[in-house]
Structure 1
Amino acid sequence: MATEILVFFAAALSSTKPPNAAACNLQLIRLVGSGIGVLALKLLPVFIAHGIRPQLPSVNSVVAFLCRLSQPHAAERFVASLPALGCSPDLVTLNSLIDGHCRDGNLFRASLLVLSLRSFGPRPDAITYNTMMGSVFKHRMPRFALGYLGLMWKSRLTNVVTYGILIDMFCKLGNLDSAQSALDDMRISEISPNVVIFTCLIDGYCKNGCLDSALKLFDRMLELAQFPNVVTCTALIDGLCKNGMMERAAQVFGKVHKEGIEANAVIYTSMMDGHFKKGDSGAAMRYLSRMRVTGLKLDMKGYGVAISGLCSCGRLDEAIEMRKEMEDSGLFPDNIIMTALMDACFKTRNLKKALNLYGEMLARKLQPDVFTVAALLDGLCKHGLLEQAKEHFLKAREFNEVSYSILIDGLCKKGDRSEAEKAFSEMEVVGLVPDKYSYTSLIARFCKDGDVFEAFKLHKTMHLKGAESDLLTYSTLIWGLACKGLMIEAREVFDDMVRCGIAPDVVVYEILASGYLKQNDTSSILNLREQMKKSGLVKEDIESYKFKSSPNG
């Protein structure tokens, strides 16, 4: 087609006869449509010089093309010159300009054009308002979007696109009640929702954890013969998998197959990821096999899910094989994959391989992120290589609360209390808030050192700073107090734990029982035994409980 158009223009310009205006305008439109719009821009002034006046269809084609090139100001200058050429812009022209300015992020200029239309005409239509609604919301201005919606309601211009934008906006804002109300309003207005609208709502419900509502909406789609597309199915299956609802995800997967919708790589990856997170590596790998049978290939995310999943399920050898397969296909592991492999090597006591993987990351210029640093520190600390861990921590460009918690825990377990306290204080200096794990590690160290007063004081600070104690925190503090014979205080901490809604386990009862036994406090022992009976934790006589070690190891 492009060759024919160029031959036409060459003949028209070389002819002694004046070119046919209608034919030239038509060919300009075809030229833009053929993907050679730049040539159309060059030819337009040539034809104007030959006395050919542009007609609205070709003008609109050129304006839209300029706007797609992110040149709305050039398009506007061209439109401003049209009256001198005997051509006046229409609503299509101005809608293209508005869309161009919106794409360019110049909402102020776009809104001025809309205001001009409302004041001087031609009057804005649904396309005008829908363009503005969608754009102002993308720029995080939902109130302005609702303002344009009000103008549309006033002019009775709302259509299915309007509701699609509105519902998508409410879903992304997490306002699902308003999104559902908009869907109900469509029914009242006798506007049928399309697949896009159902998909927006299903995705919104999934991302906000309302899986039952998402499933009901999916079933309603089928009832209304609005057959879901692959995007709808991807959103629903991914949401179900992320929430661990693998049986329901498998049911939807089956429906998808039954309806003749071919699952894409994203759906298979979601199914694999969900099963891996449930610890069912067999089911995950079966989905990988099915995926390969259909001819689909793993992308970077798919390999990441498969390799990380195999690592988390203790199938390191297969994960390493998959990495080789990945590289053979031309893809190279990213930070996530390398970190998963390194962490798995640490956990299988293969220290040399883990450190080699970390060295490989650095050699490939992969910048370790907070997760990589955390995995490295955790592995080194658990292998007793605390000095190496400290060196890597000091070199790290990225670290967070988890990195500090791991280091503090390692220092506490080694007995290096002063360094642990120093790292703890440093967290606040660098703008990080110590989490419950950092507090618990220090409390355990204080208790082991017999410094119960400092442990108790730190626990109080923990509450004042908003860090929530867990069962391990409380049991550690109770153990420290019991070891010092401070059973009244230990019982107070126990009661505080129960008031906070944390259910004591058998270890906590054993700690208290051991303390009471040392003091021959029969009354408290019997009282404790009754509590254990009510909790269903008594398996043998309370007198046989012997506390042998601290809960923090």
Structure 2
Amino acid sequence: MRRFTRPKVIPLLAKKPPSQLPHLSPIPNPSLPQPPQNPSPPSPILTLSHTQNHTHLLTFIKTHIKNPPLTPKTLLHFLKSKLHHHPTFTHLDFHVFNWASTVDSYRHDHSTFEWMVCSLANTARFSELGCLLSFIVANPCPCSDGIFSCPRTEPIFRFAISAYCRVGRLDDAVRAFDSMRKLIDGKASVVVYNILINGFVKCGEHDKALWFYERMVRDRVKGDVFTFNILISSYCRNSQFGLALELFKDMRGKGCSPNVVSFNTLIKGFFREGKFEDGIEMAYEMIEFGCEFSSVTCEILVDGLCREGQVEEACELLIDFSRKGVVPRGYDYYGLVEVLCRKGNSERALEVVDELWRMRNVPSLIACTTLVEGLRRSARIDEALEVMGRMLEVDMVPDIVTFNCLLQDLCNLGRTEEADNLSLLSSTKGLELDATAYTILASGYSREGKKKEGKVVVDEMLDMGFIPDLATYNRLANG
């Protein structure tokens, strides 16, 4: 139960007479001699460096806040719509926030707290952010005057905690968390615990991440899939794969269903330990569990096997996954095709591509281009031509260099007419033929003694502006 009486407001600055709005307090120029320091702690206020700027800011405030009494709504509008976009005063928002807290009868609420926390966190003013959080603890939102606390308190502190963790200020994050716990009703959400646990993990503080997880358990906050994924990943990073596997089993025992990230992390851990069979078994367990593969899952498995020289095992595994219908749409198996073609096994690469393409796992443009080049180098021109035709059928336009190389191969084999038909088809699909493509076709027809067809190609070159002069035209027309 919350307290019923309104808390005593503790301003950052001393209260001023109610007859007028208080003046902004300037700070002396740092370049001038400073008076002796007051032994009492300085007020946590952002101040101006020049009296002239101070005067201008006061004038700016009076211009846009004309009708007292000041309210959180009018102040928030001023901060968001006026001060924030001012080139000179935008960084003085906390100064104005503190000034407003000294206005008689004015009290900040969650709207101004939220705006100020976001502003300070996003601009990395973490010292001021700490002062602000302390102020919020001492002067809670008016929503907290009743039985329940303000529902925006946790989101406000969560944003600050996330900002602290992002820059590695974990002690400040924990202090902010402890302050938040004093203000909210009941337990903190699992999201805030996850932010802190992940912050410790990102900073390499594995033991502290476990400590905070244990604190979460003591607080009787039930972990979710993100909690376990963070800790499993941290165990794997710290070469404690056995403990990661135990946590995975414990996760399922507590009724928390693993997701694709959980499985991917463990499969990658198995592969890092050299336990490839266990990693593959985990993938099949993932299928039985009904968890869909992601592209990352396939990359971990296929690329991991290829790096260990188990290319054929990677082929069989990917084909089996394809037949089971679990290969995700958009997975680019270019890496496997490239390895096979580099090893001179373009025939096997074609089999893999055919199998996956038949199951509607269309390869990427770079995978198809790599396969065409591999087939060409293996003198499998017919297969390369077939792949090129399938590419054009699905409006996959090849690059002009690969296309011209295939045209040259066909013409060298005396199949210029096929090459010409391929060029016509590719043109309808958006491929812009260059002068090299036309020259290859014209030369091919010339070698085959088909001067009439060659003349048609040369005339088209002339229309396209690829022939610079009459001598070049005659040379091409005459073969």
Q: TM-score, length-normalised on structure 1?
A: 0.43
Q: Which has the higher contact order (CA 8 A, sep 6+)?
A: 2
Q: TM-score, length-normalised on structure 2?
A: 0.48
Greater helix percent: which structure?
Answer: 1
